[in-house]
Structure 1
Amino acid sequence: MSNVEYKRALCFASHANCGVRATVEDGTITKLEGDPECTVSQGRVCERMDFQLEWLDHPKRCNYPLKRVGARGSGKWERITWDQACAEIGEKLRYLADEYGPESVIFSHGTGRTDEWYEGRFFNLYGSPNLAMGGSEICWCPTYTNESATYGQFAAAFTAAKTGCVVLWGHNPAQSGDFPEHWGYQDLFANDPDAKLIVVDPRCTEYAANADVWLRLRPGTDGAMAMGWMNVIINEELYDKEFVEAWTYGFEDLKKAVQAYPPEKVAEICWVPAEKIVKAARMYATCLPAYLPWGLATDAIGRNQAQANRAKACLKALIGINKAGQTYLAPPNDVLPHATFEMPEMLSKSQRDKQLGSDRFPFHSWPSYQMISDAQSRVFHHPYFLSQNATCAQNWCAVSEAIRTGKPYPVKGLIAQASNPFSNLSNTQDVYECVKLLDLVITHEYTMTPLAMLSDYVLPAAGWLERPQLWGVGGGGPCITGVALTGEAAVPPLYERRDNYEFWRSLAEGTFDEETCEKYWSWQTTEEAYDAMLEPQGTSARGAITDPVFNPSPEEWHKMSDPKTGQLYGFGTPTGKVELRSTIIEDLFDEKEALPYYEEPFESPISTPDVAEAFPLILTAGSRVMPYYHSEYRQVNGCRDRYPEPHFQIHPETAANLGIGDGMWCWIETRRGRCLQKAKLDASVSPYTVAAQHGWWFPELPESEPWLGGWFMSNINMCTDNDPDNCCRLSGVYNVKLAQCNVHRADDVPFRSIFG
């Protein structure tokens, strides 16, 4: 008779982390299904669940530590032990620290694949401020920084059922992987026919097709659109007067600033009729409560990123903060934040000041983090240095410059964990050339990505079914969601894979002395580390599986009194109010930057008409498609069979003028480079715009030079830009969304035998 067990896990096939029930027979997982007892997903799972068992033991998975023995990119490897790998890596890391300084080693990670405090602890002990380069720099953290400077925290809401109006701004939960959110909206609109939906997006997404108002704006003009909404809301006095008067700073200054953006002018900028802009603004301000969740688009537009996100943050504030179903900030509580475990105090100020890009772009680096942290500590009673953000915000354009020039100091080493920089960094040709210049590249990964193929050491990573999981602790405040929920490993790690904590602990043992490891890496397992994080909530990693912790979430908690001091909580900003005029930005830059404004993309028909003459189409890059998650799962049959090739959307009239038919392979080309994708004719796309998918590579191709998994063939980031002069002026965030491009038939495709 077989031994059958049922394990309760949290799915990390995306960052949604839905609850999963795994059936395990004699140590082998035989079935995965939604866990009906999970608070997050309540038994629902997305189609990615269909191929997770295939992925668990896929032939392309990394299973053993490998050391490069041939030339970089030759595909020649030697299998070694973890002890040997970590000892050799540790020796090399100590050498780089002694020879060039610990700041010469940088870090890159992916989206939702790691807990940031592990690498934070390692790098703070090692002495490098340069983490993390990768997806977070242009995904969530830019909004996080802006909203923290505006409200004192990241704005979250999880009461969609009470919401009267939802605004999806550059956000498509149906394809991006945010499925609990997607299901929540489905329930909302199914149960409340009066609930309104506004979509701001250049593409006709699943939600746009059913929206009450769809604003098909010109890509990159989001800041102008937000300023236009505020013009309507303020001038028509539709804002929450009581909240604005009592709890905002700089309203009169903002009122003056938005006068430069009447709907008629915004219509000219955004290519959207003025009456639709007015209708959307009025709907948002009157169909309360109204919820405008985070969307990736404005994090990734480069030049105007910070001010566009600031405008959206101010827009939310006009109708009130800390209200159920609207913009909500999790209240102070006793959860230990990530910084408690990252130990930022171990990194000296002199080392923090060396963070690449922090001198030129201080708003997305340590100068602003410290100012925000000082303001937050008044509410949270401890300085936690915005740890989640500080470990996610290395400036890629500054890193690239340092690798190439050695200024302001050399960059020699890279540690990458669950990351594919060839997909998430702009100007991929530059990424490739920079990696080739490094002395040491270490990768902890699930599969041989293009970066792993160029690494010196590749260490195998345990997936979510092979490790315990923790959801809800840390993030935008001491606890962004007010929830602590855990999952258990369904099976032990296969082969010689190690999970995230075990990787960093093993690396620490090879790098630091015995006393340091005993003191700072005392937990033997990930579960023990989670127990320490959850102890303040009176639970453990095991306990939170069946009894998740919920912290109270009162409305308008900013009006509550601190039981210890008797003072009102207020907001975690220097003024204690929502800062429509940012004192932090003003201190870092000047009074002009303290209020949001619109600036044209670095490359557009308006800012660079000469470029637009040669490259007449506007590229908006980064489209997602289920069931992929960023660049993952391209080698999984259960996924690739459903969506085998990359596509870009183009208007039929535009395609006809270019001699392009539906399904034709085409070159998408900008001043930086070009890539191959298939045309998908779509009349909903503007005739002046093409929308391309991101994340494409071809793991079935050889893993040695020149192929390296075909990283260059259909990768839209061959076309994007990372010139520091074209980045966001405040934050240095690079652009992975926008460019002027042209498109032509790929009659000269040199890979015809591969593509067919």
Structure 2
Amino acid sequence: MAGLATSFGSGAMTNSFADIEQTDLLFVIGANATEAHPVAGAMMMRAVEKGTKLVVADPRRIELADRADYWLQLKPGTDIPLLNGLMHIIIKEDLYDKKFVAERTEGFEELKATVENYTPEKVAAMTGIPVETLYAVARLYATSYNALICYTLGITEHVCGVFNVMSTANLAMLTGHIGRPGSGVNPQRGQNNVQGACDMGALPNVYPGYQAVNNPDARAKFEKAWGVSLSDKVGLTIPDMMEAAVEGKVKAMYIMGEDPVLTDPDANHIRHALESLDFLVVQEIFMTETARYADVILPGASFAEKDGTFTNSERRVQRVRKAIEPIGDTRADWQIICAVAGRMGYPMTYGWPGDIFDEMASLTPSYAGINYQRIDACGIQWPCPDCEHPGTCVLHADKFTRGKGLFKGIDHVPPAEMPDAEYPFLLSTGRILYHYNITTRHSAGLDAYRPEEMAQLNPADASHLGVATGERVRVTSRRGSLLTKVQVTDRVPPGMIWMSFHYKESPTNVLTVSAFDPISKTGEYKVAAVKVERFTESGGMPDSRPPAL
């Protein structure tokens, strides 16, 4: 497992966005690209118009599904059985890339033994996808010369998110669809600089460049550069921090550019954690729900008020240039951090963000050849080991990070919570086109266009509940309850309610389950059990059970 995670460990795209329009087949799984990543989604739509084949795996009939050659409407939480079933067919029909498997990988026999158990008939029963469709998609993916797997949070936001990712890597390696233009595994990051933040060490177990904190050589390098003694202990993830706060083991937090009260699962637990702290600092550009709990608010500057870089999903490091001076008493984040560090006895005397970047590049091998001058006109994709290197468009062209790619046999891991008699609906969550996370609610134009949550509900369920589009329902889980208007649509299957997380008035994450992938600690936002009841001002709520299917 560790070897394969190393091969694809950064979470970055193996290819470039341009490859979307240069491939023969797009396999989009767990990614509503036209809404959550509209630039990439538009490229996918253009590719299809030019003749690229499209397979979409998603429980909802998203916009891409309308254009797909095959729409795989799988049951939520059954991605591993689906991918194993496709690999079962590919191996049985001798369609896998024997040369690639023999020369570039190891662990094939383990994979083969695992997927042997995932027959098309068994997978059809587990996923709800017809047997004949499984055969057609397996053959199409295996026989396409170039194929791109594109995924995002629909793959990662499960208790088995890491195993889901590994399964996509298994499929790509099995067919040799990796390491060349038009073929690879391409996650789209959920926010604009998540990739850059991870690259620069915003993880509890690594320094910048994914250099492990418990690696003595790496630690010595950073101790010399920073002039301090550094711990070799792995830090806490966000869920662990919140739990430690409740237990009184973490006394203070410094939260920057994050609103966990709205965005983290089981929001009532998050509120309890923040209330348990002795001291909370929030550095933000808006008065967020999290900032309301702060003892001190440090007013940061927006992207348009500061210089710096963002690194996007295709690993491209790009300049961000200050367009206006910071408004009021706000400051750029780096200036605030430097000022705080200085007050705590560690002077940071950087003159501007370019100085900070040069230091980062000197300590981060994959960024070593990048500087502000080189990316003035156009960004560069890491790894870029020296200033003569043009950057890397395609990862793993000759070998994987660990040498050979490691297959792992991965079995189905069920969701932490499934519907039952008391909570008979399945809740899944995501994003809508009109809002970006929770920040665009501060845009008067966008908020006027989509001012409130419109939860998606199947017509059969709406009929049974006696609700129509625009009417309100109460949605309740074991963790909380809220009111929301509904949009009645057959884009969701019966028994499911789908909600976004953009609205503080309908804070969806009071409902989501407090369950996490044990490796990545990513929350399971895509599956939770809820009950849905028609809401009236008089309080009348009829039977919340979904209709018999």
- What is the TM-score with the length of structure 2 in the denominator? 0.83
State how far apart, in whole Å, the 1-side matches of 2:199 and 2:75 are.
Answer: 43
1:745 to 534, 538, 545: 534
1:405 and 2:255 are equivalent in the alignment: no
Aligned to 1:278: 135
Confirm or deny: 8 A CA contact 1:427 1:719 kept in the other structure: yes
Tell me if 1:167 matches 2:9. Answer: no
RMSD: 3.3
CA distance in 2, matches of 1:415, 1:554: 36
Report whether the alignment pairs 1:648 with 2:455.
yes
Which residue identity does 1:462 align to in structure 2?
A
Query: Contact 1:604–1:618 (CA<8 Å) still a contact in 2?
Result: yes
Q: Does 1:308 align with 2:164?
A: yes
Cα 1:365–1:715 change in 2 (3 A) is farther
**Match of 2:472?**
665
Could you tell me which residue of structure 2 aligns to residue 544 of structure 1? 375
Fraction of identical pairs, as percent: 24
- Residues in 2 aligned to 1:540 and 1:309: alpha-carbon distance in whole angstroms: 32
- The unaligned stretches of length 5 or more in structure 1 are 1-142, 330-336, 345-354, 356-363, 385-389, 560-569, 582-594, 606-611, 698-712, 751-756
Judging changes above 3 Å, is the alpha-carbon distance between structure 1 residues 254 and 370 closer, same or farther for their aligned structure 2 residues? farther
SS of the aligned residue for 2:375 comes to: helix
C-alpha change, 1:503 and 1:392, in structure 2 (3 Å) is: farther
Residues 197 and 213 in structure 1, CA contact (< 8 A), matched pair in contact too:
yes
User: Displacement of 1:530 after TM fit?
Assistant: 3.2
Given that 1:230 and 1:281 are in contact with CA atoms closer than 8 Å, whether structure 2 keeps it comes out as yes
Alignment partners' CA distance in 2, 1:373 and 1:165: 41
Where in structure 2 are the equivalents of 1:312-331 lying within 5 Å? 312-320=168-176, 321-327=178-184
Residue 585 (structure 1) aligns with: none
Helix, strand or coil: the match of 1:504?
helix
Deviations 1:637-679 (A, max 9, x none): 1110110110111111111011111111111111111122111
Aligned-pair CA distance for 1:199: 0.7
CA distance in 2, matches of 1:341, 1:212: 40
Contact persistence 1:441–1:457 (CA under 8 A): yes
> Is residue 118 of structure 2 the alignment partner of residue 261 of structure 1?
yes
> Across the two proteins, how many residue pairs are aligned to each other?
501
Match of 2:350 among 523, 528, 553: 523
Residue 601 (str. 1) matches residue 430 (str. 2): no
CA–CA separation in structure 2 for the residues paired with 1:275 and 1:621: 30
Maintained 8 Å contact 1:217/1:272: yes
State the 1:457 CA deviation: 0.7
Letter in 2 for 1:307: F
Residues 180, 394 of structure 2: 8 Å contact kept? yes
SS at match of 1:686: coil
Q: Residue 161 of structure 1 contacts residue 184 of structure 1 at CA under 8 Å; is this kept in 2?
A: yes
Q: How far off its partner does 1:150 sit?
A: 4.4
The answer to whether the 8 A contact 1:148-1:372 is kept is: no
* 2:489 is aligned with 1:695: no
Judging changes above 3 Å, is the alpha-carbon distance between structure 1 residues 496 and 621 closer, same or farther for their aligned structure 2 residues? same
The answer on 1:433 being equivalent to 2:433 is no
Displacement after TM superposition at 1:326 (Å): 0.9
SS at match of 1:545: coil
The letter of the residue matching 1:441 is L
The 3-state SS of whatever aligns with 1:604 is coil
Distance 1:283 1:741, change over 3 A: same
- In 2, Cα distance between equivalents of 1:275 and 1:372: 49
Q: Shift in Å at residue 213 of structure 1? A: 0.6
Q: Are 2:422 and 1:614 aligned?
A: yes
Go from structure 1 to structure 2 and tell me whether the alpha carbon gap of 1:715 and 1:151 turns closer, same or farther (over 3 Å shift): closer
Distance 1:276 1:544 in 2: 46
Q: Which runs of 5+ in 2 are unaligned?
A: 187-195, 224-231, 382-389, 540-549
The structure showing larger relative contact order (alpha-carbon pairs under 8 Å, at least 6 residues apart) is 1
Whether 1:423 and 2:262 are equivalent positions in the alignment is: yes
Cα deviation, 1:181-226, whole Å, max 9, x if unaligned, reads 2232233223x22x11111111111101111111111111112111
Contact kept, 8 Å, 1:618 with 1:738, in 2: the verdict is yes
Q: How far did residue 179 of structure 1 move?
A: 3.5
On the 8 A contact 1:426/1:721 being kept in 2, the answer is yes
Contact 2:31 2:152 in 1 (8 A): yes
Please give the alpha-carbon distance, in whole angstroms, between the structure 2 residues aligned to 1:596 and 1:198: 22
1:504 Cα shift?
A: 1.2
Judged with a 3 Å threshold, the aligned counterparts in structure 2 of structure 1 residues 342 and 264 are, in CA distance, closer, same or farther, namely closer
Aligned with residue 720 of structure 1, among 493, 499, 512: 512
Cα distance, 1:470 vs structure 2: 1.4
Q: Which residue among 1, 5, 15 is the counterpart of 1:157?
A: 15
Residue type of the alignment partner of 1:613: A
Deviation string, structure 1 residues 452-472 (Cα, Å, up to 9, x no partner)? 111011111111111123134
Aligned-residue offset at 1:684: 2.7
Match of 1:504 in 2: 337
